[in-house]
Structure 1
Amino acid sequence: METELRADSWYRYMLYRREAYTRSVIASDEERLAIEAGRKFALAAYADVWADDADLVERVRHFLRDNFHWQERLAKTGSALEVVQTLQDMVRGGSVVVIPERATPAAGLAWPPGGPAPAASLFWGVENYDAALDVPVMERYRAQRLRFEAERTTWSEASAMMDGINERFMHAAVLADPVGTLPVFAKAGWVSKYGLPDLSGYGAAISEADDRVGSNIALLSEASPFEYRPIEPIGDTFDLAKTPNRGTPGTWYTNPGSGQMRLYGTDGGAAVDLDFDHSHNGLRPHAHNWNDGVRDGGNDVVPFSPWNQ
């Protein structure tokens, strides 16, 4: 969605998202010249002068809010100077372009107007907006890289997000049933990768786990590992009754209808459920812990990832 930034007697300067303005990934010569002319115009302006223009700042707020959802806080509560400086940074990086468009002349005026040259623009430092600006390839490449790097989610960020989900899920499961779940997570390599939660009140349970599988928790192998395989659901509903409430301690059961996976604790009762075929509190997949035969629900569901990284 384009938005007018400012206008003078000759031009309207319009704001666009880069991908909304260019007709292809590589801008045409005409588009490139217009983008560079607008870039010089926007970056030559004094941010504090633009910040004093309340109408301009409000238009920029609406543009950022409507086109870049991650700028919502700035659009709502950022200072006028922050809003203008952010716009200039986005123009500099290339995610926003400022395009000069010829203004419609007032009735009765010749176009182009004759007579003396127009008065100097209020945007100090900007001259000759019509100039054909030959931007070197290297400069365009650097600007494109800055734009891509500013907008994309890096692999390290995505990996860190997944690790955080895995760690929270494992810690919740271990606190719910350390004896039944520690062997599973240790064999999967999660214990050595994510560490353990505070188990200061679980001395007896940890001793029992040590007696069953040895003192080196990273090498525990008594429990059977599971492998997640997508299963087409049968029907439109999720039927919890199809998953047995009891099973062999330390093993996983996969529901053939819903794909739900259930881990059985040391007493053979349900310890953890992994649900894949529906959302709970916006989480899909998600996990439920069992405590004293009762499954956690409501806001106590736990996010998790089926992939071990």
Structure 2
Amino acid sequence: MEEKTTDKKEKRGPQSGKRRESGDESLIPRSASILIMLISAAVALGAIAMLQTQSNEPEAEQRDERTEEKTIPAPPAAEKRLFPVSPTDRRFTVDELRAHGPTASTIYLAIFGRVYDVTKGKQHYGKKGGYSFFAGRDATRSFVSGDFTDAGLTDDLTGLSPDLMLGIEDWVRTYEKDYTYVGILVGRFYDANGRATEALRDAERRIGDGHAARAKENDLKRLFPPCNSRWAAGSGEVWCTTKSGGIARDWVGVPRRFFQAGRKESRCACVKKSGKRSDGSDSGNRGDLDDPRLKLYTDCPVSADTCKIVD
């Protein structure tokens, strides 16, 4: 009986051992498989990330290129000239222009560095013409100074007022309209490459100042219109109407001496004498009469629309 019991135990012993061995063999491969799967997944994810990075690099480079393109500064805008010049325009030297003087078959003159063919005005610019001294040279200054001496016949515009600079612009426009433009003069206003010099830029700025001053003057004339006037020996009279000074309005006004800043002499101005001031502010129904730049004419009634003036 004891032997049988022992046999049974022996049988159970190996069987239980086989179960443990069988259990160990099944656990080891499963762990290895999981590990391999995890490694494979990590490798796959890494490969995908690399592919994405590579595929994004060209796009990033394109974005960088686009960014660089945007940061490239634009070329400077070409200067705008008061009177435009083309790169193909002929460039005269002083000697070449001089060859087209008052005795030449084709007569040229220059003003503001621009050369014009004035041959059709030979009676004025030819040898016996009253303006022959303009031919074959640039005498811009004398067009507004009235100085026709050798010293005055120059293109040096130093010291000319903005108002006189506007006179030069008017003369250039006259030649543009009446004569043929043939090129530019190399010298004070243009260099050998046809580019504007600082002297030309400065002259154009001063012409701009002249336009600004003229606009301000026109504003003052609308505010204080010039009077009508007539003069005889030693005396005269000034008076106002709704159109005096060429300024149409719905009031007549009264004559006053108007002292403008920067000018030594006064001028006659028609002044609004009732209602609000011209700027819209309240004046106690006195219009612009209390403006400090105004003075009464001697012996002229305060409310008169006509004043007698004796020198």
Q: Under TM normalisation by the shorter chain, which class is it?
A: under 0.3
Q: TM-score, normalised by structure 1?
A: 0.28
Q: TM-score, normalised by structure 2?
A: 0.28
**Larger-gyration structure (1/2):** 2
* Larger relative contact order (CA 8 Å, sep ≥ 6): 1
